[in-house]
Structure 1
């Protein structure tokens, strides 16, 4: 049996398993394949792909999508192919952004590039059977009666069925951790949790052979999981760049336009152009062209040009200052020849990660230029990049203690002595940090609280927005990633579900449009001086 209903800790404040441990467990069971189906999200998909492939386990990309009207009604959606992956990105985006999202309306579509699994008869009772739609039978004693009803419905109406072992924790001992995370998410304490708030205690990573044995009288249910796994084949071509396209005048090639503008800039930047400068510029342009970055340079050039046209102050910094092309295009202000800077530090054929430009704007003007980028390159192809806020020592300790019913005043007596460090260090704080010498967590319930808090070290807590990262894609951005609101939906800030590291792994190109207060101060100072003349 192949696990097709699996949650990592990227099911925020619910799932308890980091992706690497999830894959390690699958490898321990010698599984050939496994799905990842986090709740309305694919935050952990790229990490899952990389680790699973490394362990020679076939990764199946999926997601659990719930009904906005009734969260107990859900479907497991698995991508059969690359088209299915893009469709899944769009479905998740719709679920996250659209108040009128309807799971029932979604299921009326054929969705041929996806597999659909659901235990919710209510969602499919009016549908015709089809090859990609399965009734989900859940491997749990508590679900025995429901499974009979599901099986009977499937047989009477001609639907296929498949057994799953929903996974939220590695083993039964992690149920308390799941309860604690749930209490944190619901802002209550664990004693107030209701059974419907929690996953079934049996939803741990059971040995597949045990489930197969339990379901031996209905072997087709487990065989169907293998059939589904065999048919899922998604290749996101991690590490291969997906460049956005700059719309050039008269459709001249991007390489040609970049070459022309760079040599114009060379004449402008230098009173006397040396052979050394020409040779260096040709070398850089050759590498940029060969690696496919011409469109990227032109887009950054366009953004800076627009900023200059509007009278904005900009500073290009970082390793881009090593590029003569960037200097000639006036993206940076440092002459790399004069300062003997190596272009290879910015871009070279052996570099595994894409370079990115860091462009500083005044904090007063940054939003204006970001709006220009969205309008110029299309709201459907541009997004801000997310960052994942994770638990550190103090936040983990405070939140777990709250879940155990302690007040802020009681918690602060301890937390004020906890330094800025990894939550994994909590059990050994008094040994590691002088300021924590007086902490004693040997008595219950503090011993359990600290143990649980250390287990959620680096667990994702919520999404936020990257300080300046913007991604521009060749086609619709939801062909590549799912989108959602950053932590506060009311602010209307839409971000990619993957963070900057996953964006890079996907081969998408980002630009950092950063806000610098000093540029605003400098602008105000210059305007003040002018007004006094």
Structure 2
């Protein structure tokens, strides 16, 4: 799977491959923002996957990113498939021929550049590999690909800019058809198997890797958390009640059993720094059920007084992990993010990526715009639907919701709008 300048589908792809007992090959098609040239990078192992992530970050963040310069300094943990003769020549001159392939693709109008690339590869003694550049699964899915391109470029399917949509041949062809397509170029197809055999990346999904809090030398994370929690509890009470002491011991025991002490220490450190800077903050959610969180100053709610159960926050009988939400003022949030990056290192900190998916009315609205329907017509159609409407159940809605009965689902263009909407419902 090679997303363009991204790895958005890597996790879902990994899980799907595991469910089908297949070995996934992770990669990305990296583009040059200035020249439009592209190259496919494939990770050979987990270290290569990490390097691939770094290349993508550079591509996204560096306004002066040069594809040719970056490819010339790739490690041997990454395989390179290069479809451009000039780019291939430059990369080989600097990096050498190792782990480099000339990427051959065939579609209408590609024969001249393909022959030029083939001649360059033979001159440089670089192996060739036949690829398919898949953008949709079946040939019949081209209409959906074209629709998504129109949505992405904020145009219609009739006014797509040049280069925004791939040819109808960009579907997942079976092995026999690929073999026939490249039967005049020996090794082009068989080399793809050699490439696949070199790629073995197993993403450690589900493995929790908690950060280690940088505490005093010689003191364990559990000991440090225990010391901080008891110190905080004594600040809360002149004389610690027996029930509070017992509750704290039990919570600390569970935290130690689950090896979550580093997590609590990191959150405590962030809260402590915010308070030192005069930045208002408070922990919310089920963390308020924890006396340890209150003793550390993460939350302000007394779980004993309000009879809150710690097990609703952290339970050794469940596989849930602690989740402490911290709120900061919008105008000082970035200041705290900078602190976390500096304190723990940018290589150890990441922001959560939220993916929005097409759902219900939003699907039909976007499809209608891509088909070129006037906005008043789209609004009149969509507003009859309930907010929870499912595109796959439009016919059913007409029989159960009076407002939906006048929907002209049998008439064009609404029939096509509904049919295409069903095809992309749930897409990111």
Normalised TM-score (structure 1): 0.73
The aligned counterpart of 2:170 is 203
CA distance in 1, matches of 2:49, 2:389: 35
Whether the 8 Å CA contact 1:77–1:117 is kept in 2: the answer is yes
Q: Return the offset for 1:138.
A: 1.4
Q: How does 1:352-391 map to 2 (within 5 A)?
A: 352-363=319-330, 366-379=333-346, 381-391=348-358
Indicate the residue corresponding to 2:48 in structure 1.
84
What's 1:458 paired with? 426
Partner Cα separation in structure 1 for residue 289 and residue 424 of structure 2: 41
Change (3 A) 1:120 1:350: farther
- Paired residues for 1:323-472 under 5 Å: 323-363=290-330, 366-379=333-346, 381-421=348-388, 424-425=391-392, 427-428=394-395, 429-460=397-428
Map 1:109-508; keep pairs closer than 5 Å. 109-126=73-90, 127-128=92-93, 129-140=96-107, 142-193=109-160, 196-218=163-185, 220-249=187-216, 252-363=219-330, 366-379=333-346, 381-421=348-388, 424-425=391-392, 427-428=394-395, 429-460=397-428
CA distance in 2, matches of 1:137, 1:149: 11
Q: 1:139 to 1:290 in 2, by over 3 A?
A: farther
Higher strand share: 1
Post-superposition CA distance 1:103-161 (Å, at most 9, x none)? 11012114211011121112112324523110111144543443333222222220111
Contact 1:212 1:219 in 2 (8 A): no
Q: How far apart in 2 are the matches of 1:349 and 1:158?
A: 59
User: Whose relative contact order is higher, 1 or 2, with alpha carbons under 8 Å and at least 6 apart?
Assistant: 1
In the alignment, the residues of structure 2 paired with residue 182 and residue 361 of structure 1 have an alpha-carbon distance, to the nearest angstrom, of: 38
Does the 8 Å contact 2:48/2:77 carry over to 1?
yes
CA distance in 2, matches of 1:341, 1:354: 18
2:129–2:189 Cα contact (<8 Å) kept: yes
State the shift of 1:184 in Å. 1.6
1:353 CA displacement: 4.3
**Cα deviations by residue, 1:235-272 (Å, 9 ceiling, x for unpaired):** 23111122223222456332221110111223333454
Separation in 2, partners of 1:64, 1:432? 47
Task: State the alpha-carbon separation in 2 of the partners of residues 89 and 393 from structure 1.
Answer: 33
- Cα distance 1:114–1:433, how it changes in 2: closer, same or farther (>3 A)? farther
Q: CA deviation at 1:178?
A: 1.1
Structure 2 unmatched runs, 5+: none
Cα distance 1:432–1:132, how it changes in 2: closer, same or farther (>3 A)? farther
- Cα pair 1:427 1:454 within 8 Å, conserved: no
Aligned to 1:69: 34
Kindly report which structure 2 residues correspond to 1:505-524, keeping only aligned pairs within 5 A, or say none: none
Q: Distance in 2 between matches of 1:120 and 1:351?
A: 53
Counterparts of 1:403 and 1:343 in 2: how far apart (Å)?
51
In structure 2, distance between residues paired with 1:170 and 1:450: 21
Using a 3 Å threshold, how does the CA distance of structure 1 residues 265 and 59 change in structure 2: closer, same or farther?
Answer: same
Distance 1:158 1:284 in 2: 65
Kindly tell me: are residues 253 and 364 of structure 1, through their superposed partners in 2, closer, same or farther at Cα, counting changes over 3 Å? same
Q: Which moved more, 1:360-369 or 1:450-459?
A: 360-369
> How far does residue 446 in structure 1 lie from its aligned partner after superposition?
1.7
TM-score using structure 2 length: 0.90
- 2 CA distance for matches of 1:380 and 1:130? 30
Mark the CA change 1:402 to 1:111 in structure 2 (over 3 Å): closer, same or farther.
same
Question: How many residue pairs align between the two structures?
Answer: 424
Distance 1:349 1:228 in 2: 44
Superposed displacement of residue 426, structure 1:
6.3
Per the alignment, residue 71 of structure 2 pairs with 107
Alignment RMSD, CA only?
2.5
Structure 1 position 166, deviation (Å):
1.6
- Looking at structure 2, the residues matched to 350 and 140 of structure 1 have their Cα atoms a distance apart, in angstroms, of 56
| Distance in 2 (alpha carbons) for counterparts of 1:54 and 1:286 | 37
Misfit runs of 4+, over 6 Å: none
Which whole-Å deviations, capped at 9, do the CAs of 1:306-343 have from their partners, x for residues lacking one? 33334444332222122221122122233334444433
User: For residues 119 and 384 of structure 2, what CA distance do their matches in structure 1 show?
Assistant: 59
Deviations 1:200-241 (A, max 9, x none): 211112222332344345452222211111111222311112
CA contact (8 A) 2:14 2:203 kept: no
Name the larger-Rg structure.
2
